[in-house]
Chain A
């Protein structure tokens, strides 16, 4: 049995690829990335500098893949990795990084720091340095299918209740439907209006869709934890369900990392192309709008702004669609100062939201969002990720700010013609 350290180091070694080599070789330690990271700007603690969070991986790379490193390691000159090199970084990468990748956008030599941090997490997970909150969530996800411990039974009862309450149709397990809509547990338990909203919109647009009772969970704790094995297991379940139901297009719900995982990272985690298309619900809605299938009426007159979920805009490329939709119904839509691919994170991405230990820090870094909102004087904030929504609501409550957070899908559903 190998020690946690050995497992971690071996995993980190296996993570070194051409990009890692190129990135670490080109970092000049200029510190620019720190100025883009909310965990640094709001705490002024230099340890939250993005590139510093990748230190464990850099050390492994330096000692095993560079000439100087190999030389001094074989001569016994460089300090070998210790368990502390990993354990000390646990809080930095899990509590002090929301994987928002804002740092990636500003690095002068173009280093994708978020990509490196994701790899560090891989090593941490292998060595077992994962916060309890996340560990628990991933165990539940593997066991029940959802990190909140929600089972298919729970889903079915929620669906039944919605159907009854709102007199709507929510197709379950329909073979051959055009779209398979995935859900995050949040949307089943907390923001139930979401199901109602898409149901209304889809029936108005006249498209066939379904949810799966067997595997409905859109989030992927494997990705948050940085454990590719778990991530792949969860993805395989989606593949299984989609094949069974003969689905052509999978719809990612209002959840940031679900979208990037299905659309962009999933195929690479699995190592093969997916047998279906993936769209974000907003891409779909905007497409329906363009095709003339989605017509709205009336307007939402409150002054509102849009919070770009990092994984959907900066990491997902869904930038214009929500704006097109908002412009259709909200005449008083104003933009925040830093927006789109340079938005500020809500603070709860990358598994931070499931990590109770990180809460004080998360609320501290929310300050940046508070400043952005203070400048705007809005009464409503729209977003397209249920995780962001929870984080924003908590942050607003903590700061006693009277701003309502709503989902963009729900806003559209409320104004259906």
Chain B
């Protein structure tokens, strides 16, 4: 019963909420409210600034890198590990092919999958601890940041439980937690996964037009 719901209607709801929600929020930013143009005379191209800022944002500035080592290392561990597992683990590739795209692509070997998920686990735990232990992040973190972290952690943990592919209950549990995460996604700080691009672009345009090295 529950299994059918999770595989059927719940999944469809989650998929719709996720895609409609994310698109709607991106549209809000990109179309509905960006009427404003800049009246100042540009020194350099804003578009190249936007592109540069999007690239530049991937590595920390040396002036602060010493102070944010933990965030950078743990951040990269989590994000890289997570993406490798999400998009290249064999069960996921198979699932995506069956349910969304219809075609398969390269998968990583099992050991790569295990190493990647271990790195992701370590990264996520470290990031969350940093959030709780650093006075700055403890002060500025919102409830939604914690909920998002916990949801991602649960998704990863249930995924790990289902690794043995010993029973369909565990697989259903994993899928259900994924669905919860997808429904929560568009309304939370998880949106940064998409929003960082327009954000960097906005700032990049400003700095690029002014000729500041980004």
Chain A directly contacts chain B within the complex, with at least one CB pair under 8 Å: yes
Instruction: Give A residues with C-beta under 8 Å from B.
Output: 17-19, 21-23, 25-32, 34-36, 40-41, 46-47, 49, 51-52, 66-68, 104-112, 115, 263-268, 270-274, 277, 313-317, 319, 337-338, 340-342
In the complex, which of the residues A25, A47, A270, A313 contacts B25, with contact meaning CB atoms closer than 8 Å?
A25
A157 to B136 CA separation, bound complex (whole angstroms): 52
With A17-B33, A267-B40: A108-B57 Cβ-Cβ less than 8 Å:
yes
- Shortest CB distance A250–B (Å): 12
In the complex, which of the residues B36, B142, B199 contacts A29, with contact meaning CB atoms closer than 8 Å?
B142
Of the A-B pairs whose beta carbons lie under 8 Å apart in the complex, a sample of 18, sorted by A's number, is A17-B33, A18-B32, A19-B199, A26-B199, A29-B131, A31-B137, A36-B63, A108-B196, A109-B200, A110-B53, A110-B200, A112-B203, A112-B206, A263-B40, A268-B39, A271-B39, A315-B212, A319-B211
A108 to B192 CA separation, bound complex (whole angstroms): 10
A123 to B140 CA separation, bound complex (whole angstroms): 21
Contact across chains for A26 and B191 when beta carbons are under 8 A apart: yes
Q: Which chain B residues lie closer than 8 Å to A271 at the CB level?
A: 39
A342 to B60 CA separation, bound complex (whole angstroms): 12
Instruction: Kindly report which residue of chain A lies nearest to residue B211, judged by CB atoms.
Output: A317
With A106-B64, A342-B61, A342-B63: A46-B135 Cβ-Cβ less than 8 Å:
yes
Instruction: Kindly report which residue of chain A lies nearest to residue B38, judged by CB atoms.
Output: A268
- Given A27-B192, A31-B134, A32-B68, 20 extra CB contacts under 8 A: A18-B30, A18-B36, A19-B202, A23-B199, A25-B192, A26-B196, A31-B140, A32-B60, A49-B139, A51-B140, A68-B187, A106-B63, A110-B57, A112-B206, A115-B206, A266-B40, A268-B38, A273-B40, A274-B39, A277-B41
Q: Which chain A residues lie closer than 8 Å to B131 at the CB level?
A: 29
Contact across chains for A34 and B136 when beta carbons are under 8 A apart: yes
Is there a chain A Cβ closer than 8 Å to B141's Cβ?
A: yes
Q: Which chain A residues lie closer than 8 Å to B39 at the CB level?
A: 267-268, 270-274
Contact across chains for A273 and B41 when beta carbons are under 8 A apart: yes
Contact across chains for B40 and A264 when beta carbons are under 8 A apart: yes
Interface positions, chain B 122-178, Cβ under 8 Å from A, are 130-131, 134-142, 144-145
A277 to B41 CA separation, bound complex (whole angstroms): 8
Q: Which chain A residues lie closer than 8 Å to B140 at the CB level?
A: 29, 31, 46, 49, 51-52
Contact across chains for A317 and B43 when beta carbons are under 8 A apart: yes
- Shortest CB distance A319–B (Å): 7
Q: Which chain A residues lie closer than 8 Å to B130 at the CB level?
A: 31
Contact across chains for B199 and A111 when beta carbons are under 8 A apart: yes
Instruction: Kindly report which residue of chain A lies nearest to residue B196, judged by CB atoms.
Output: A109
Q: Which chain A residues lie closer than 8 Å to B210 at the CB level?
A: 264, 315-317
Contact across chains for B137 and A340 when beta carbons are under 8 A apart: no
In the complex, which of the residues A36, A263, A273, A277 contacts B64, with contact meaning CB atoms closer than 8 Å?
A36
- Shortest CB distance A408–B (Å): 19
- Shortest CB distance B130–A (Å): 8
Instruction: Kindly report which residue of chain B lies nearest to residue A320, judged by CB atoms.
Output: B211
Is there a chain A Cβ closer than 8 Å to B189's Cβ?
A: yes
With A17-B36, A26-B191: A341-B145 Cβ-Cβ less than 8 Å:
no
In the complex, which of the residues B32, B75, B212 contacts A341, with contact meaning CB atoms closer than 8 Å?
B212
Q: Which chain B residues lie closer than 8 Å to A26 at the CB level?
A: 191-192, 195-196, 198-199
- Shortest CB distance A36–B (Å): 5
Contact across chains for B195 and A25 when beta carbons are under 8 A apart: yes
Residue of A30, A40, A51 contacting most chain B CB atoms (<10 Å): A30
Contact across chains for B202 and A31 when beta carbons are under 8 A apart: no
Contact across chains for A18 and B33 when beta carbons are under 8 A apart: yes
Q: Which chain B residues lie closer than 8 Å to A41 at the CB level?
A: 67
Q: Which chain A residues lie closer than 8 Å to B54 at the CB level?
A: 110
- Shortest CB distance A342–B (Å): 4
- Shortest CB distance A235–B (Å): 12
